[in-house]
C-alpha cells in the first residue's frame, strides 16, 4: 500500500437505537479484535476514541497488561497487536495524532456510503494524504462525523434477499480491512 | 449459493499454545459475532460444539435470552441471528444434525490448508453435499479434526513481510464468510 491508513474506533459521538447521539462504553474485545486485525493487515495505528477519562484509563490498563504485563508473557503474539492502540479523547485528537492533513473516511451499515471497496482499494494505492478510517460503536457514527468525511465507504452488502446486515463492529472492521488491504 | 453450508465452532478437540489437545471455555461474544456474521451471509446453521453440559447450558441461556427473553425485546435484530445457533456435544453430532453425508472443511491460520478461497467459492456454487466449515477456538483445531477434513481451507494470508496473522476466531470467521459468500 502506498498511503498510510489508520483506524479510529469511536465511542462518541455515535447513535443509539433511537438515533440519539450518545457515548458508549468500551468493549474489551473490540480493542483486542480490531488491534489484531489492524496489525495483521499492516495498519500501524488504531485510535480508541473516548471522551471519558475513566474509560480511557480502562483501555490503557488493558493494553499495558498485554504489552508490559503478565499478558505479554503468557501470549507474546498479542503484544505487537496491542502496540498499535492509541488512546485519545476525541476524533480531532486522532486527526492531530496522525499529523493533520488527514482524509477522513467513514463506515456504515446503511446505504448512504458511495465509495465502493474496489475504488477505495485503488485510492489507497495512489499517492495522497493519510486516511483515517472511522468505525462507530453503538448504532453507528453520528451525523456530525459522517458529514466531516471526505468519503463514506459503501456498506458490506448482504447476499440475503432481506438485506439483513447486522455485523458486529469487530466483524465489520475485519471484513473491511480484508477488502481494502487483503492479499 | 447452490450448496448448503453450515458452520461449527469447536471447543473440543482443539490445541492449546503448546499444541496439547484441550477443551476451551465458551466465549459469549464468539456466539454473538459468528451468529450475526453467519446470518448476514445467509448461513442457516452455526453449531456450537462443546462436550461439557454446563457449557452447553450457558450457550442455551445466551441464545434463549436473545430469542425469547428480554434481549429479544430490547434488540430484535439479534433474534434471527441467534436462531441459527445449534448446540451440540461433538462434531459427530453436528454432522448428524445436518443429516450426514457432509463434506467437512477445516480452517487454520497455518499454511497447511491448500483449498484457495477462489476454488472454495466455486465449489460452493457447484452441486454437492452440504459443507460443514469448522473453526477452532484456542490455538486451532486438533489434528484429529484436520485429518477428517475433505478440504483444508487456505489460511488468511497477511500482507505483512513477517506474515503476522493472529486474528480472533470471530474476525477470521467474518473474513472467511465474506470471501466465500460475499457479494
> Does the interface predicted TM-score (ipTM) exceed 0.90?
yes
Q: pLDDT for B96-143, tens place per residue?
A: 999 989 999 999 998 889 999 999 999 999 999 999 999 999 999 999
Q: pLDDT for B150-164, tens place per residue?
A: 999 999 999 999 999
Give CA–CA dist B69/A17, Å, rounded: 18
Assess contact for B7 and B97: CB atoms under 8 A: no
CA distances (Å), origin A153, targets A58, A173, B47: 30, 12, 32
Give CA–CA dist B160/B15, Å, rounded: 25
Phi/psi at A131 (5° precision): -105, 130
Assess contact for A87 and A60: CB atoms under 8 A: yes
Residue B79's pLDDT band, with cuts at 50, 70 and 90, is: very high
Q: pLDDT for A108-165, tens place per residue?
A: 998 889 999 999 999 999 999 999 999 999 999 999 999 999 999 999 999 999 999 9
Cell of A79: 503484544
- Chain B residues near any Cβ of chain A (below 8 Å): 1, 17, 29, 32-33, 36-37, 39-42, 75, 77-78, 80-81, 156-160, 164-168, 170-175, 178-179, 181-183
Q: Measure CB to CB from residue B37 to each of A1, A17, A171 and give the nearest one.
A: A171
Q: In the prediction, which pLDDT does A2 show? A: 78
A162-B172-A75 Cα angle (round to 5)? 145
Q: Measure CB to CB from residue B159 to each of A33, A170, A183 and give the nearest one.
A: A183
Residue of chain A nearest B31, judged by CA positions: A168
What is the pTM for the complete model shown?
A: 0.97
Q: Do B166 and A81 touch (CB under 8 A)?
A: yes
- Mean pLDDT (chain B, rounded): 96
Q: pLDDT for B22-39, tens place per residue?
A: 999 999 999 999 999 999
Q: In the prediction, which pLDDT does A177 show? A: 98
Q: Measure CB to CB from residue B40 to each of A41, A167, A183 and give the nearest one.
A: A167
Phi/psi at B97 (5° precision): -65, -25
Residue B1's pLDDT band, with cuts at 50, 70 and 90, is: low
Minimum mean pLDDT range among A21-30, B36-45, B47-56, B110-119:
B110-119
Q: In the prediction, which pLDDT does A111 show? A: 80
Q: In the prediction, which pLDDT does A1 show? A: 57
Q: pLDDT for A96-109, tens place per residue?
A: 999 989 999 999 99
Residue B31: name the closest of A171, A163, A6, A148 by CA: A171
Amino acid at each position: 500500500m502506498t498511503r498510510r491508513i489508520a483506524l479510529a474506533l469511536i465511542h462518541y459521538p455515535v447513535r443509539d437505537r433511537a438515533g440519539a447521539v450518545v457515548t458508549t462504553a468500551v468493549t474489551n474485545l473490540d480493542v483486542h479484535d480490531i488491534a489484531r486485525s489492524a496489525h495483521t493487515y499492516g495498519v500501524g495505528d488504531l485510535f480508541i476514541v473516548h471522551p471519558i477519562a475513566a474509560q480511557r484509563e480502562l483501555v490503557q490498563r488493558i493494553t499495558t497488561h498485554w504489552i508490559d504485563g503478565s499478558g505479554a508473557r503468557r501470549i507474546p503474539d498479542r503484544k505487537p497487536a496491542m502496540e498499535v492502540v492509541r488512546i485519545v479523547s476525541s476524533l480531532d485528537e486522532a486527526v492531530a495524532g496522525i499529523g493533520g492533513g488527514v482524509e477522513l473516511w467513514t463506515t456504515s451499515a446503511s446505504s448512504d456510503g458511495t465509495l465502493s471497496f474496489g475504488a477505495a482499494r485503488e485510492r489507497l494505492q495512489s499517492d495522497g494524504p493519510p486516511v483515517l478510517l472511522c468505525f462507530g460503536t453503538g448504532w453507528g457514527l453520528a451525523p456530525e462525523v459522517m458529514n466531516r468525511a471526505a468519503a463514506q465507504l459503501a456498506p458490506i452488502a448482504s447476499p440475503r434477499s432481506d438485506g439483513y446486515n447486522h455485523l458486529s463492529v469487530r466483524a465489520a472492521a475485519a471484513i473491511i480491512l480484508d477488502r481494502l488491504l487483503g492479499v
